[in-house]
Amino acid sequence: MAIEKVYDLVSRGKAKLTPAAVQEALDAGFAPADILEKMITAMDVVGEKFKNGEIFVPEMLIAAKAMKKGVEVLKPHLASGAAGALGKVVIGTVAGDLHDIGKNLVAMMIESAGFEVIDLGVDVPAEKFVEAASADGVKIVACSALLTTTMPALEATVAALKAAGKDYKIMVGGAPINQEYADKVGADAYTPDAATAAKKAKELAC
């Protein structure tokens, strides 16, 4: 099945072959959200293999590259809104953390929901978040963290953003984050995935 091929290619890090397989799955009538879900599942399997010592960082990296290539094909099918109408969202992955696939998906869905997205990239120090968030029209600051070791950086970022005292909402997310942690650090919202993040951003901004 076309969608299983996508799963197989991403989990094996076949960046050159993945885009065509994603297109094939789309042509076969699979929903873009389901294809994306398959790719995320493939990354989960890659993560498990890494945890079990079956693969190492280079394999995780090539799987990430394959997923990124696949997402490029999916992007026009997932994103559709008129960017900018709802205000600005500053987004980034916190200091010390290089994971950006989830953050990029959140950025894409938020943009599609009608926001202008200012993407600060990965390994973003708290001060850089604060500086970018001080621009006119910033309604939301969205911080992603994928490592338990970067959760303190997320906490420090939220604290710095709150201390700046500006009128924006702070959203947090990423695999190790949950509602309890978001409440503890004083974020305005936690969401588990990109689609929910976009929905929540609209609620917070409107």
Beta strands in the chain (DSSP E): 88-93, 116-119, 138-144, 169-173, 189-190
Given the complex with ligand B1M, which of 27 and 55 has the nearer CB atom?
A: 55
Please state the closest distance from residue 1 (CB atom) to ligand B1M, in A: 21
Candidates 126, 46, 35, 112; CA nearest to 80 is 112
Confirm if 145 and 125 have CB atoms less than 8 A apart. no
User: DSSP secondary-structure letter at 91?
Assistant: E
Please state the closest distance from residue 97 (CB atom) to ligand B1M, in A: 4
Please state the closest distance from residue 69 (CB atom) to ligand B1M, in A: 12
Candidates 178, 136, 137; CA nearest to 154 is 178
Given the complex with ligand B1M, which of 149 and 179 has the nearer CB atom?
A: 149
Given the complex with ligand B1M, which of 25 and 187 has the nearer CB atom?
A: 187
Work out the number of other CB atoms within 10 angstroms of the CB of residue 19: 18
Candidates 152, 189, 160; CA nearest to 173 is 189
Please state the closest distance from residue 102 (CB atom) to ligand B1M, in A: 2
* Residue ranges binding ligand B1M (CB under 6 A): 40, 43-44, 46-47, 50-51, 57, 60-61, 63-64, 96-103, 105-106, 142-144, 146-149, 171-176, 191, 193-194, 197
Please state the closest distance from residue 64 (CB atom) to ligand B1M, in A: 4
Please state the closest distance from residue 44 (CB atom) to ligand B1M, in A: 4
The residues near 202 (Cβ < 8 Å, ≥ 6 apart) are 86, 113, 114
Given the complex with ligand B1M, which of 26 and 104 has the nearer CB atom?
A: 104
Given the complex with ligand B1M, which of 27 and 139 has the nearer CB atom?
A: 139
Given the complex with ligand B1M, which of 17 and 102 has the nearer CB atom?
A: 102
Q: What angle do CA 51, 100, 106 make, to 5 degrees?
A: 115
Confirm if 61 and 76 have CB atoms less than 8 A apart. no
